[in-house]
Amino acid sequence: MSADGTPGPGAEVATHCAYCALQCGTLLRPSGPGVELEPSPDFPVNRGGLCQKGWTAPALLTTPDRLRSPLVRGPGGELAPVGWDEALDLVVARLDRVRETYGPDGVGVFGGGGLTNEKAYALGKFARVALGTSQIDYNGRFCMSSAAAAGNAAFGLDRGLPFPVTDLGDADVVLLAGANPAETMPPLMRHLVHPRLIVIDPRRTRTAEQAALHLQPAPGTDLALALGLLHLAVTENLLDKEYLDTRTTGIDAAWQYALPWWPERVEQVTGVPVEDQRTAVRMLAEAGRRYLLTGRGVEQHSKGTDTTAAFINLALALGLPGRTGSGYGCLTGQGNGQGGREHGQKADQLPGYRMITDPAARAHVARVWGVDPASLPGPGRSAYELLDALGTPGGPRALLVFGSNPVVSAPNAAHIARRLAALDLLVVADLVPSETTELADVVLPVAQWAEEDGTTTSLEGRVLRRRAALTPPAGVRTDLEVLHGLAVRMGQPAHRFPVSPRTVFDELRRASSGGRADYAGISYERLDAGEALYWPCPDAPDGNHPGTPRLFLDRFAHADGRARLAPVEHRDAAETPDTHYPLHATTGRVLAHYQSGAQTRRVPELLAAAPGAHVEIHPGTAARFGLTEGALAEVTSARGSTVARVRLVPTLRTDTVFLPFHFPGAGRANLLTGPALDPVSGMPEFKVCAVRVAPWQEPQA
């Protein structure tokens, strides 16, 4: 090791990919200003494999336009480099003015699902202690908040997969509802080679191409399909009655809502043939080892919580959750989407997955933080509501953004860009310039995954060590150093906001102790020794609690130990096609890019694979509207238009178009998506809106 604690020349560092929630194991070796990377052959999730994004991740470390100095917008409107002291002094002075004029809630904080556990924890603490604001949420709200709400209601606990990923490899049948891991997390497919797959998706995705059975419902009708599948499970006598009697409550009420959804009605609403419905239920019910997994296609709706609950009902009716060799799980998307919400970035939660309205939770966390419980704010706005309120009467007038690019990733994107532009102060901490930094008053350059220590929590609830292979470039600070610098300038004692990830994690352990997401028994020492630790992992007298790789084997987390089936009913999406907007539009990801694309669009290999916005459309539909392969199309909703290049896809539904959401400017898919939110989870309706398409006409000069 060198004097600064980083590895010496050629030293190998074991860490994890910074992209999706698989958190694939990687090995890094410093090489010049960057690193060489290879997959870890020993990490069980990726087993020596990586996707395109993982293989090319080191390119971002040395991208030519990487942010390397704080930037402040001058009187002429241009961002110009300044020193760190000047930048932080300016931020605090302007935050103080906003807070004096509008109160603590005049400042908002918007975090990211890619932040380490330590950074997510520190950001939530900074918002509630240093700023005193309730106005904090994060882009993970756009990821799996609906699954979290449904999982908590059903099981009393929300963990993406309540079992290790490797369990899937032994399955006979896996049903994937609204998930496309072949493109969004390709190494997962290594565990889905043996099982027969049932895929529910409006598109014939790369995952659906590998399925034994593909159900192709119209966008926005997944809930009707799930109710219909439960109807068939009951009427064809496929229920696990002993399991329902001994381990669950609520089947009778759930059945009353599924009763009217006979197969022919489901086919009429969803377009899924009756025989395919029957085949899917029988395959899942009759398999020996079987799993039901949901993804964003189920959750990103204004009824996403109910839709997820309906699929959980089906899993419970068939006796899947809480058994060895079977189960239900949610495929968490972002790199630390699980840990990011467990430790304080969500508007309604404190560390350890404690609810901020619970007096006992407030007292416990306040004691760890050394503050009065009464000083902690209550719950704030959910992510879209927070962004929608910016610059409005009663809404935040200043916003700090860490690790997110809402100008591209938020729904109703043009409106959100206007709200960001209306702020008195916008501060963005990021690695590279983004469409959001272009609007910022202050930009703060922060370290990347290969330059920092910390922990993340994978989709299976396993806590993992991220290890630095390099020191950050000159002029770049870690997020913990940024928060420390701001907090001290705001009058907080320096010890309250440490810059050492290990110190922060030790505090996080105490703050989470006794909570639903209990990390108290996890330490850097145990992780560095190679232990596989899944939360909950409470402290134990001998310090060696083994963690909980498989949840619910004995009981569910409700007081009576039983899971709950939810009575849910189908309802239409917020928008349905009409004569003016005759098509469904749905959004999603492609293999080469990630999230808003701010990082992956800077990697030449990835950009070459997917260089710009495109719209997938059935050839017959394209002909109807005068579109041809490779031509530019204008796709328009009630909120605006996006321009994308046409791709003819014969397997797509004729009433549906698909757009990836990774691209900026006029190619933003989220210029189309609307503000409708799930009333329980606050999830926006990304997966369906009504649109029309036409050949793009170049504006006249």
Domain 13-62 has what CATH class? alpha beta
Low-confidence ranges of the chain (pLDDT < 70): 1-10, 701
CATH number for the domain formed by residue range(s) 71-142+336-534? 3.40.50.740
- Return the H-helix or E-strand segment holding 269: helix 263-270
pLDDT of amino acid 10: 56
Burial class (CB in 10 A: 0-12, 13-18, 19+), 499: middle
pLDDT of amino acid 698: 82
pLDDT tens digits along 493-552: 999 999 999 999 999 999 999 999 999 999 999 999 999 999 999 999 998 999 999 999
pLDDT tens digits along 96-127: 999 999 999 999 999 999 999 999 999 999 99
Residue 105 and residue 131: Cα distance in Å, rounded?
Answer: 8
pLDDT of amino acid 3: 38
Fold for 146-331, please state it. Dimethylsulfoxide Reductase; domain 2 (3.40.228)
Cβ burial 114-134 (10 Å sphere, 16+ → b, else e): bbbbbbbbbbbbbbbbbbbbb
Fold for 583-695, please state it. Barwin-like endoglucanases (2.40.40)
pLDDT of amino acid 288: 96
Secondary structure of 418-465 in the HEC alphabet?
Answer: HHHHCCCEEEEEECCCCCCHHHCCEEEEECCHHHCCEEEECCCCEEEE
Task: Name residue, tokens 């927070």.
Answer: 386
Cα–Cα distances in angstroms (integers) from residue 316 to residues 279, 311, 388, in the given order: 19, 9, 37
Sorted by where each begins, the domain ranges of the chain are 13-62, 71-142+336-534, 146-331, 583-695
pLDDT of amino acid 334: 85
Amino acid making up residue 93: A
pLDDT of amino acid 337: 85
